[in-house]
Structure 1
Amino acid sequence: MNTADSEQKSQKFVILGATGAIGSELSRRLVQAGHEVFLGGRNQSRLECLSEELAAPTQTIDGTDPESIERCIQGACGKLGHVDGVVNCIGSVLLKPAHLTSDQEWSDVLAVNLTSAFAAVRSAAKVMGRQGGTIVLISSAAARIGLANHEAIAASKAGVIGLTLSAAATYANRGIRVNAVAPGLIKSNMTQSLWETPAAESASTDMHALNRIGEPADVASMIEWLLQAENNWITGQVLGIDGGLATIVPRARQKRG
């Protein structure tokens, strides 16, 4: 590949929630592929480490504050010159039935998972204007299948699906593509209680037809694919990266039935 081809394929991306398991894996993949990234995250020390590793500019953000997200994306545009894509990896997990979920917990889940996604779309659309670009959000398999004790997280992530579809329709005439991924259980510090013991890991594995828990790379690789310029006829899609969790009944469960 000559230098001109390489430069033509290089793009500039903003990764919100860059220090999380999926965000950091995605950031590394994009830099290795020759792209520029601007990293937004809450944990300043982790952000500094990732910035040093990838030689990438950063900004500390509050993922529950739309103005903070707006400043980050605007700052990225100023630093990089323009923005080709924005990925929102900000998220949280709350596993409680509705009757045990407090008003504050409900508000926090909505702020982290849905308000951050809305703020990312709004801010990305402003900086992309009519030049086109790509926005990728993260929903969840829990928004597509009924899972016990997932009421708050399922509701917020279902909102992300609705946001994705509507924004894809709104901004298609500007050449802005909006898609989402809907992961199953992914190994990370945030989900550790669901797989850290043999019993928990076995129960979680059994829920997935492909008989394993997901890795951050499983999700990051699909997001990277959606960001690629050559995949520019894909918008308004919610892609399940979930080992079959939302659509397939595992054989073990069928046999027990």
Structure 2
Amino acid sequence: MRNYIVIGGSSGIGEQIVNVLEAEGSNVNATYHTQAAQDREHVKYISFDAITDTLDLDDLPSEIHGLAYCPGSINLKPFHRFKEEDFVNDFKLQVTGAIKVIQDLLPRLKASGDASLVLFSTVAVQQGFSFHSQVSISKGAIEGLTRALAAELAPTIRVNAIAPSLTDTKLAGRLLSTPEKKENQSKMNPLKKVGDPLDIAKTAQFLLSPNSSWITGQILHVDGGVSAIK
């Protein structure tokens, strides 16, 4: 049985990743911050703040086959209005937090012999959208980290990232809070819909599994075609 860690596994895409890994029969240790979740037979939740906490390793498996780091933010504002603390907090959540967790779990990931890391970027890094400078700075760093770690940790550990477009989660709630907003966002996508967290979770499941054993250093755009089709 494979052992997985999902950081930010109590809501949104992280919650769906936990669900699909549980359904395949894997053991999952997942974290929550503000939204607590109940343990299940193969799922154990622990409280964890990615900015301030150090991950407690005592109850985690000695061999870990995969890690998904899901915490993120969507702070959209004009460039002239964003302050240093805004950028720093986003960077701590999405980049520094990931680095600390990976460093802490690295010996256990190496011990499995065929581990996989999945990080999260956004379509906005390579597309360039107005008001997305703050988001793109952190996620751009994640893309650089993905490729650098893929090189450094090969062949024992594979490292990939998923870059979604707008996905229907609580995090994106204010952008999709009415049927009209959701319809308008759907019209801007080549497939005429916003993302479903389950679509992203199934991609993460594939990247975490041995089925993707010859894929590393990649940024997968799961975005309804918005990054490639006009």
TM-score bracket, shorter-length normalisation: over 0.9
Match of 1:62 in 2: 49
Shift of 1:144: 1.4
Matched, 1:207 2:184: no
Match of 1:6 in 2: none
Among 37, 48, 73, the alignment partner of 2:37 is 48
Match of 2:141 in 1: 159
| 1:15 partner letter | V
Length, aligned pairs only: 229
Deviation string, structure 1 residues 55-104 (Cα, Å, up to 9, x no partner) = 52222111113x52xx24x34xx433321111101111101111111222
Conserved 8 A contact 1:18-1:47: no
Q: Which runs of 4+ in 1 moved over 4 A?
A: none
Matched, 1:245 2:226: yes
Shift of 1:118: 2.0
Match of 1:12 in 2: 3
Conserved 8 A contact 1:121-1:167: no
Matched, 1:148 2:139: no
| 1:26 partner letter | I
Q: Which structure exhibits the higher relative contact order, with contacts defined as CA atoms closer than 8 Å and separated by 6 or more residues?
A: 2
Among 20, 25, 38, the alignment partner of 2:16 is 25
Matched, 1:168 2:168: no
The two structures have a TM-score, normalised by structure 2, of 0.93
Conserved 8 A contact 2:9-2:31: yes
Conserved 8 A contact 1:19-1:47: yes
| 1:12 partner letter | N
Conserved 8 A contact 2:28-2:42: no
C-alpha distance in 2, partners of 1:206/1:120? 38
| 2:177 partner letter | E
Matched, 1:234 2:220: no
Q: 2:163 is paired with a residue of what secondary structure?
A: strand
Among 28, 35, 40, the alignment partner of 1:37 is 28
Shift of 1:27: 0.4
C-alpha distance in 1, partners of 2:104/2:215? 21
Match of 2:109 in 1: 128
C-alpha distance in 2, partners of 1:158/1:206? 26
Conserved 8 A contact 1:14-1:85: yes
Higher percent of residues as helix:
1
- In our comparison, the structure showing a higher alpha carbon Rg is 1
Unaligned runs of 5+ in 1: 1-9, 250-257
Conserved 8 A contact 1:214-1:243: yes
Return 122-131 or 239-248, whichever deviates more: 122-131
Return 195-204 or 27-36, whichever deviates more: 195-204
Matched, 1:90 2:71: yes
Unaligned runs of 5+ in 2: none
Conserved 8 A contact 2:79-2:131: yes
Shift of 1:137: 0.3
The two structures have a TM-score, normalised by structure 1, of 0.84
**Where does 1:75-86 land on structure 2 (aligned, <5 Å)?**
75=58, 78-86=59-67
